[in-house]
A and B are shown apart, each in its own frame.
Chain A
Amino acid sequence: EIVLSQSPGTLSLSLGEGATLSCRASQSVSSNYLAWYQQKPGQAPRLLIFGASSRATGIPDRFSGSGSGTDFSLTISRLEPEDFAVYYCQQYAQLPLTFGGGTKVEIK
């Protein structure tokens, strides 16, 4: 099983600042089959990024993903009020599918 570790656990930032979230895998994620989701309280997760760096339909370009192998990142270039949420990474390279523990982006 591929274990995903996200850091930091919480990120306290101000509106307009940039954010970089990390996701590290316990083994290489083949074909960069790594996705990122955003989740707000009481809502289902929302797909942001797939294939490590491709934005899902309707996702603003301030969200970008990068990385390969075991180290991946999600960058939010300028935080908008609606971006304060919890972010999860997920690998879909092999079963069982696994998610990281999440990074909470909160308003400073």
Chain B
Amino acid sequence: QVQLQESGPGLVKPSQTLSLTCTVSGASIRIGGYYWSWVRQLPGKGLEWIGKMYYTGATYYNPALESRVTITVDTSQNQFSLNLRSVTAADTAVYYCARPAFSKKDVFEIWGQGTVVTVSS
């Protein structure tokens, strides 16, 4: 059974970098055809896709965040990470990592439990 678990600081100061890690268990992050994504949910609002990565290191980002986002992979640890730079209060959200149900189709069947990140001084 594939499980995802987000981890990282729950509080980040404005202008600093938000760093989160998603640990994958029950499957290899190197599985062919599957891109691994980050999605966030702003307080009381809907869902926003941040970006995705393939185990080779290939990445795609949401243009709205692209200038501040980096997603990286550590295949030896079966983890992938999110870095969001120059954060403001508007980046306060629940951050999820997610895996698609199918190869090459970004329909999210498996989600982490989510981690709350607050941006505040």
CB within 8 Å: A-B pair count: 53
Residues in B neighbouring A98, C-beta threshold 8 A: 49
Residue of A at shortest CB range from B109? A47
Q: Which of B37, B48, B60, B108 contacts A47 (CB 8 A)?
A: B108
Question: Given A92-B106, A97-B49, are A44 and B101 neighbors across the interface (CB < 8 Å)?
Answer: no
Q: Which of B60, B107, B114 contacts A92 (CB 8 A)?
A: B107
* A81 within 8 A of partner (CB): no
Question: Given A44-B114, A47-B109, A50-B101, are A96 and B63 neighbors across the interface (CB < 8 Å)?
Answer: yes
**Which of the listed residues A33, A44, A99 has the most CB atoms from chain B within 10 Å of its own CB?**
A44
Q: What residues make up the interface of B, taking CB atoms closer than 8 Å to A?
A: 37, 45-49, 60-64, 96, 98, 101-102, 105-109, 111-114
Q: What residues make up the interface of A, taking CB atoms closer than 8 Å to B?
A: 1, 33, 35, 37, 44-45, 47, 50, 56-57, 88, 90, 92, 95-102
